[in-house]
Structure formats: structure tokens, C-alpha cells
Chains A and B, each alone.
Chain A
Amino acid sequence: MSDETFHTPVEKARSPLAEAWEMFRQNHLAMVGLGLLILIVLGAIFGPILYPTDPYEMVWAPFSPPGAEGFLLGTDYLGRDILAQLLNGARVTLIIGLAAAFVTVVIGITIGAMAGFYGGAVEEFLMRFTEFFQVLPTLLFSMVIVSLFGASLPMITFAIGVVSWTAVARITRAEFLRIREMDYVMASRASGAPGLKLMFTVILPNSLPPIIVQSALMVGSAILFEAGLSFLGLTDPNVVSWGQIIGSNRQYILEAGYTVTIPGLAIFITVLAISLVGDGLNDALNPKLRKR
């Protein structure tokens, strides 16, 4: 039974964006995620200014538990302030997460769009190319890149981006294939719109919703990725990040479990917040999936 026969009050015409926001706002979990995310970003921007303790300096006896001597989250194996490390690490974590996700999305959209738009041999080649990248275990591949080409921030960003774009490419291609066959695209095509213009002005905007959702999730997975690399100690040892705090303290989990649990919790909460927002975006941007 459809419910369109129920009387619905006539709604004021609203922009799709406003409507999506309305949908998003009704999703409590997504709003919690968004709130957490805003807090984390604010913490990363203002935290180190408001709490200027040097994260690289020994400030107190190693392994002081949280709360002791005014150090809210305690100190690590070198007596460094964990709260300070966490706040400074947030910057690196977020910057790499965003930048790597950006690289991922740019590569993914380009390859997926070309495959979906041109079809034929181009598509065949690009999809084989994508499959090739799917065969390489992402983390190992980026470990190899970092070890061969150095562990600078840009290189780490590149190493993460270049190995994880395949999902975005596949989704973009699928969307392009779907939308290419739609009546309105056929109509523009029939009226002689040039190929590239068609691709950017008609197909891409219409295929954006799932790509946006995937991109949001990519930020989360890039953060996890960076955490993994820095946990292994493959990132710049002079730049503190959350994964690195865990990696450098992990031999001492018996003495000071908190040095590992706290930064892990930070990663977990950040990625969780991003996935909640991603789920919310998914519901808000995909009218077909709106609660039936």
C-alpha cells in the first residue's frame, strides 16, 4: 500500500539542499556525529593554543597516570604530556585524513567518470586498471611507497590516496552508467550537447550524492590508514600523530595501558563520528532510501 494517498500538507517549495539538511537534522545519530566532529575540529585548531604545553618535551615523570600532578591524561614513556600530544596530533591526523581523502576522491572520480562516460575500450582498460589496484593490499602498498620514497607528510598523503581510490572509482562509474541511460541525459545528448560539457554539467552533478557519501567515509578510512602507518612507525617520527602515540607506547601496555587506550579512543571516536555523519548524509541525499 502506498502512502502517497494520505493527505500530505502542501509543502513550501524548498531547495534540495535545505530538504537534505532537514532530513539530516532528524537523524539523531548523525547529529551526534556532527557535534563530535565539530568538537574535534575545534580541539585541533584551538587546543594547542589554549593548552600550549610542548608535546615533545619531557614534562614529568614517565608513566604518570591520568590526573596525577595536574596532567589530565597522564604522561607517556618519555614523560611527555599525553593531552598535549593528543591535541597536536589531532591536527596532523585531520589534515592527512582530509588531504588523503581529497587525493582519493580526485583520482577515483576521474577514473570512474571516464570509464562510465566513454565506455567501450576506455572503460575496459580503466576497470582492469582499477582491479589491479584492488589486488594490491593497500596498507602494504603504501608501506612500500613510504619506505622507498620517504615519510614526509605529502608523501604519506599521496601513499594513502593512491592506494585507496578504487571504491570511489567503482561507485562513480556505476552512477555514471546508471545516469547515462536516463531520459534527461538522452535528451541533452539528442539535442547535441558536447560530450565533456554533458559529463560535467549534467551527469556529474546528478551522480554526486553517493560519491559525496563515499568521500565522507574516505576521510574516516584515511584517518585509520594514517593511524596504521604511524602505529608501525613509518611516518615522520618528529611529527606527533595519534597512531604514533600508540605505536611508541605499545611496549609498555602493562605499566601504562592508558597511553594506548586514550589515543585509540580518540581515533575511534573521530572515525565513528565521520561514519555517523556519512550514514546521515546517505539517508539525507538518497531520497529513494528514505525510510519506507
Chain B
Amino acid sequence: MNLLRITTIRLFYAVILLMAVLLLNFTMMHLAPGDVADTIAQSMGGADEEVLAQIRTDYGLDQPFLVQLARYMGGVLSFDLGYSYYHNAPVTDLILQRLPATLLLVFTAQIFALLLGVVLGVISARKPNGILSHFVTFFALFGYSAPVFWTGILLLIAFSLKIQWFPVSGMRDVTISGGFWVHAVDVARHMVLPTLTLSSIFLALYSRLSRATMMETLGSDYVRTAKAKGLTQRQVVYKHALKNALSPVITLAGLQFSAVVSGAVLVETVFAWPGLGTLAFESILVRDTPTILGILFFSALMVIVGNLLTDFVLRLVDPRLRARA
């Protein structure tokens, strides 16, 4: 019915947010100490006058601020995020090249954490004093307190150096040849440790919250009704309690997208995963400003898309949200 309208409003709002990110990028570039052209060309280690002049015309630095801003935004709308003088390539190309790896890592980790977190939460909510329940509490504290890069390094030491189950770094083994499945298995093997590492923070968060919301829904009146109907334990827990317990967990997961992307930067660095995180890391070390700002823009875009997806899933789960305009 008004789904179209809601979607339109959401999309419009997303576009506004992205424009704001661009405005922020642009402002930061101008606020940074030194000439903007210098900032942009820093990565070359002091550019010559010719390049600086090139940058000035590209960015219209001789124009008034607002005109520059308009040009910048116009550029982004035509997928032009600037030029990386360090990589000698358009920023958009660089990012699009790295984006799939990050998307793969971020979404796999998020989904894995969500699924396992809910399962752990449900099991421990049914036996609040059981061993698993204490384990979840303990694990939640660990996941929250351990620096994610440290967790990554520990896993790396344990499972690729001491016991050589998984590759040390990268996303694929270049020496492997074969069909699609051979490569898929290869990527999957590379993915195990980074995914586990990145999930560890959020797994803890999700399992703790699902445990709490499950305990609440298991004590609710409608669960009592379900029991009074003579339904099986399984139907009571999974059909009646779980579906209600899911909304807060999904909401939380949506709020975590930005943190997941942040965590991905560290995890990618630890495992040399060829995604946006490592690109950001490399670019910052060489002060490749256009690339860094481009990545910030793209990661904001990722978070926004993640939020929209969350919203969509929430609507599937909770009819009350569907009814609300």
C-alpha cells in the first residue's frame, strides 16, 4: 500500500545523509592545515608546481567556496570521487576494486554473528542457570573487552601458525587453479579467521541481548497463552517467543553496521584482507587524501544501505511496523 511512499522517503533521506557526508569531507579538506592542493597531493611527497596547478584547476580551487562544493558534489554524483595521485588511478576505480572483499567480510561476519548469537541466546535463555548461559555472559564480557585486532592476532597465532589449518593472510591463493568451486573453497578458507575475529565483538553483543529478550518473551503473557494451547515446547519457543525476541536484536544489529565497518578496518589490516580497510590503512600512511575521503563516503553508503536492509527485515518480522506509516 504505502510501501512505495515509505521507501521513497527513506531513499530521499539516505541521499540527504550522503550529501551531508560529502559536505563534511569537503569541509575537512578545507579546514586541514595547508593548501588544499597540497593536502590532495601530499601522497606524492611534495608535488611539483605543474601537478599542483592541475589539481587547482581540477578542483576549481580558484573559485568561491560554494562553487567548489557544488563541483565536488556534482563530481560525486557522476561517480567521480577524485584522483589518487599515489595510486595513479581514479578513486572510484580503486574503491570499486576493493569493495567486494569488504562487503563479503562485513556481511558474512554480521550474519554469522547474528545467527549464532541468537542461537546461543535462545539456548541460554531456556536454562538461565546452565553452563552455556554462564558461558554466554562470560563470552559477552570477553567480546566487549578484547581489542579486535588482538583477538585476530591470537587466532592467527593459534590456527595458522601453530596449527596450520587456515592461511595466514590474503583472500585467495594465487597458485591455485581450477573451476569456480575450487576458488570458492579457497576464498572460504581465507575467510574463516577474519570472519570469526570480526564476529567476536558482535556475537557477544547479540547473544547477550537475545538472551535478555528471550527471557523476557518467555515470561510474557502470550507465551503463557501458547503453552495453555497445548503447543509443543518447540512451537512455544521458536514460533511464539523467538519471533518477538528478534526485533530488538535486529535493531541492535542495524545500529552496529557502522561499528562492523570500523572493526573491518582493523581485521582487514591484521589478515591483509584486500578490502577497503586495508586500502584506507595504506592511504592514510601515505596521506592519500582523496582516497581516504572516498572510502569514508563509501563506508557511510554501506552503513546506510545496511540500515535500510535492517529496516526492511524488521518490517518482515514485526507487523506493527508494517502498519505504521
Q: Quick one: given A144-B28, A257-B157, are A231 and B33 in contact (CB under 8 Å)? A: no
Are the C-beta atoms of A276 and B149 separated by less than 8 Å? no
Q: With a CB–CB cut-off of 8 A, which chain A residues contact B280?
A: 140, 143
Determine the residue in chain B with the shortest Cβ distance to A278.
Answer: B144
Number of A-B contacts (CB under 8 A): 137
Spot the interface stretch: B77-85, B116-124, B292-300.
B292-300
On whether the beta carbons of A246 and B150 are closer than 8 Å, the reply is yes
Chain A residue nearest to B292 (CB atoms) is A144
Q: Which residue of A lies closest to B20 (CB)?
A: A132
A271, B144: Cβ atoms under 8 Å? yes
Knowing A135-B258, A138-B262, A139-B265 are in contact, say whether A148-B39 is a contact too (CB < 8 A): yes
* Contact code string B153-182 (vs A, CB < 8 Å = 1, else 0): 110110001000000000000000000000
Contacts of A275 in B (CB 8 A): 141, 144-145
Take A135-B304, A139-B266, A144-B296 as given contacts and tell me if A267 and B147 are in contact as well, using a CB distance cutoff of 8 Å.
yes
The reply to whether A135 and B265 form a contact with Cβ atoms under 8 Å apart is: no
- Are B265 and A140 in contact, with the CB atoms below 8 A? yes
Interface of B is mostly: helix
Q: Out of B31, B142, B147, B303, which one reaches A224, CB within 8 Å?
A: B147
**Residues of chain B within 8 A of A267, CB atoms compared:** 146-147, 150
In Å, the complex CA distance between A272 and B146 comes to: 8
Residue pair B262, A139 in contact (C-beta under 8 Å): yes
Contacting pair B144 A136 (CB below 8 A): no
Residues of B within 8 A of A276 (CB): 141
CB distance from B13 to the nearest CB of A (A): 9
| Interface residues as binary, A145-174 with B (CB distance below 8 Å gives 1, 0 otherwise) | 111111000000000000000000000000
A285: interface (CB < 8 Å): no
The DSSP consensus for interface residues of chain A is helix
Give 1 or 0 for each of A190-224: 1 = CB within 8 Å of chain B CB.
00000000000000000000000000000010001
- The distance in angstroms between the C-alpha atoms of A65 and B32, with both chains bound, is 44
- A228 lies within 8 A of B292 (CB): no
Say whether B261 faces chain A, with CB atoms less than 8 Å apart: yes
With known contacts A148-B39, A253-B156, A267-B150, A232–B32 Cβ distance under 8 A = no
Chain B residues with CB below 8 A from A234, complex form = 284
A residues near B293, Cβ cutoff 8 Å: 144
Give Cα A227–Cα B269 distance, bound, in whole angstroms: 14
Question: Which chain A residues in 218-277 approach chain B with CB under 8 Å?
Answer: 220, 224, 227-228, 231-234, 243, 246, 250, 253-254, 257, 260-261, 264, 267-268, 271-272, 275-276
Tell whether, in the assembled complex, residue B262 and residue A233 are in contact, meaning their CB atoms are under 8 Å apart.
no
Interface status of B190 (Cβ within 8 A of chain A): no
Most chain B CB within 10 A, of A143, A246, A253, A254, is at: A143
Q: Are A254 and B39 neighbours in the complex by a CB distance under 8 Å? A: no
| A26 contacts partner chain B, Cβ-Cβ < 8 Å | no
CB-based contact B147/A131 at 8 Å:
no
Subset of 9 A-B contacts with CB under 8 Å: A137-B258, A139-B262, A139-B265, A140-B261, A140-B295, A144-B293, A253-B156, A271-B147, A275-B145
**Given A135-B17, A144-B292, A228-B149, 15 further pairs, Cβ under 8 A:** A132-B20, A135-B21, A137-B258, A137-B303, A140-B265, A140-B299, A227-B149, A228-B148, A232-B265, A253-B156, A264-B147, A268-B142, A268-B146, A271-B145, A275-B145
Residues of A within 8 A of B (CB): 131-132, 134-141, 143-150, 220, 224, 227-228, 231-234, 243, 246, 250, 253-254, 257, 260-261, 264, 267-268, 271-272, 275-276
Which 3 pairs across A and B sit closest by C-beta, in order of nearness? A264-B150, A139-B262, A272-B145
